[in-house]
Amino acid sequence: MMGLASYLVFFACVVLVLCILTMGLNLQWGFTGLFNAGVAGFYAIGGYTHAILTAAPSPQLMGNFGLPWLVGIIAAMLITAVAALVVGLITIRLRGDYLAIATFGIGIMIQLVSLNLESWTGGSQGITRIPKPLSTWFEGSLTYNLFYLVFMVVVVALVYWALERILSSPWGRVLRAIREDEMAASSLGKSPLSYRLQSFVLGSTLMGLAGALYVTFIGFVSPFDFLPILTFQVWAMLIVGGSGNNRGAMLGALVVWGIWAASGVAVSKWVPPSHAAQGAAIQVILIGLTLVLMLLFKPRGLLGERAVVSRHLVW
């Protein structure tokens, strides 16, 4: 019983980090119609910035300044915002799927930089000994994880509340207007590009925050944390949960990550180890099938967006 509780606390912390990530993407895609396929890249920038600033010094690495945790978090968000601004300026004019390809490429480049810039990022060995905030206050890993869970719940609630406020503000309404009918919005004097850029930057900042929170929780970061499969997972979360809806985003994070973890358990229970590789392949196939079927039969996701609005004709 204790064991299950301990695992669930851990699982919940990871899900909460993914919630922030998905809500960031939701702002970009659900509310602004931007297909950001480089989610992993911004997650990485946040994670690495935090790690480089807060980790304990190491002889092989130039960074690792051992700064306080809060500094790391704030810096992670700032640096990610700046990076998103740069990326946004380059890509924001691009049409839908071109934006996807471009951001996908950028995500990959960021990951490659983290792999090759060894003197700062530790390359493939990663950065270790990333401190956890207030770790000395709590004895034992379960108590600490419980604290972190509560902490994450507070952070996620704050993010959710802030997003909801922003989206129901005038700024948010303009955003939705731009998504639906750009020409009409610009004819009213609103600059679509500028709003899109702001939304892109804000969404990416959330992703950076998620990255910093994640590496804090795990205590270790390496380039392998930011492979394209992560982008795919976050997108799956958004689509399954329902884009254009922050509660949907969170539900999607829970459901998709839950399926991912549970299917791993199922394979290990029902498939003998000698066939484990094939069992694992089946796991991925099932995950893919779930997604495609969701798209076919419940395209709005589990909690689709409330107001139904016209979509551009496909072709």
Partner 1 sequence: MIVQAIVDGIFTGAIVSLGAIGLSLTLQIMRFANFAHAEFMTIGAYLALAAVGLMGPGAPSLGLSFGWQLLVAACLAAALAGVLSWGLDLVVFRPLRRSGAAPLVLVFAAFGAALILRHVLVLIWGHDSYFYTRELQLGVMIVPGVRVLPDQVFILALAIFLVTLLHLYLTHHRTGIAMRAMAESPSLSQVCGIEVDRVMRTTWIISGFMAAMAGVFSGLTPQLHPELGSNILLSIFTAAIFGGVGSLPGAVLGGLLVGIAENLFLLVADPGYKPAMPFLLLLGVLWLRPQGLLGEKAS
Partner 2 sequence: MQLPITVTRMGLNRRLLGLLLAFAAAPAAWAQSTACPVKVGGILPLTGSMAPITKKIAQSAELAIEHVNQGGGVKGCPVQFILRDDQGQPTVGVDAAKYLVDVERVQAFTGTISSGVTGPIISAVTAPSKVVQISCCSSASAFTDGRSAGYFFRTLPTSKTQAYATASEVSRRGMKRLAVIYVNTDFGTDMLRFYRGAHKKLGGEILAEVAYNDNQPSYRAEVTRALASKPEALLLIGFPKDAVTIIREWLSQGGPRKVALNNSMRTMDFVNGVGAQFVEDFFGMDNAQEPGPHVDAFNDAFQKKWNTDSKGPGVHTQYDAVMVMALAMNIAKDLSGPSIREAVRRVHTPGGTPVGTGPAEFKKAIELIRAGKPIKYFGATGPIEFDANGDVSGPALVWKITGGQIVTDRTIGLTDMQALTRRVEE
| Footprint of partner 2 (CB under 8 A) | 3-4, 6-7, 10-11, 14, 115-116, 118, 123-126, 128-129, 141, 144, 217-220, 222-225, 227, 229-230, 260-261, 264-265, 267-268, 273-274, 276-277, 279-281, 283-284
Question: Is position 90 an interface residue for partner 1 (rule: CB under 8 A)?
Answer: yes
Report what 10 binds from partner 2, partner 1, none; CB cut-off 5-8 Å by kind.
partner 2
Radius of gyration from C-alpha coordinates of the chain: 20
Copy the structure tokens of residue 110. Answer: 């960021």
* Nearer Cβ to partner 2 (34/254): 254
Q: Is 287 in the site for partner 1 (CB under 8 A)?
A: yes
DSSP structure class, residue 26 = I
Q: Which is nearer to partner 1, 7 or 98 (CB)?
A: 98
By CB under 8 A, tell whether 183 contacts partner 1. Answer: no
Distance of CA 264 to the CA centre of its chain: 21
- Minimal distance, residue 310 CB to partner 2, in Å: 38
- Nearer Cβ to partner 1 (105/133): 105
Angle 286-258-205 (CA atoms, 0-180°, nearest 5)? Answer: 110
Q: Does 125 bind partner 1 (CB under 8 A)?
A: no
Separation between Cα atoms, residue 307 and residue 111, nearest integer Å: 37
Instruction: Tell which one of 5, 8, 184, 292 touches partner 1 (CB under 8 A).
Output: 292
CB contact set of 61 (below 8 Å; sequence gap of 6+): 52, 55, 119, 120, 121, 122, 127
CA angle (182 as vertex; 177, 184 as ends), nearest 5:
80
| In the complex, minimum distance from the CB of residue 293 to partner 2, in angstroms, rounded to a whole number | 21
Contacts 24+ apart (CB under 8 A), 82-89: 83/42, 83/45, 83/204, 84/42, 84/200, 84/201, 84/203, 84/204, 84/205, 85/197, 85/201, 87/38, 87/200, 87/204, 88/196, 88/197, 88/200, 88/201, 89/197
The one of partner 1, partner 2, none whose footprint includes residue 57, by CB under 5 to 8 A per kind, is none
Query: Distance of CA 65 to CAs 57, 125, 190, Å?
Result: 6, 18, 43
Write down the least CB distance from residue 106 to partner 1, Å.
7
* Nearest one of 210, 225, 234, 223 to 103, comparing CA atoms: 234
Q: Measured from the CB of residue 72, what is the shortest distance to partner 2 in angstroms?
A: 16
At its nearest, how many Å lie between partner 1 and the CB of residue 189?
A: 25
- Minimum CB distance to partner 1 smaller for 54 or for 231: 231
The site for partner 1 (CB under 8 A) is made up of 29, 35, 90-91, 94, 96-98, 100-102, 104-106, 108-109, 112, 115-116, 232, 235-236, 239, 277-278, 281-282, 284-285, 287-289, 291-292, 295-296, 299, 311-315
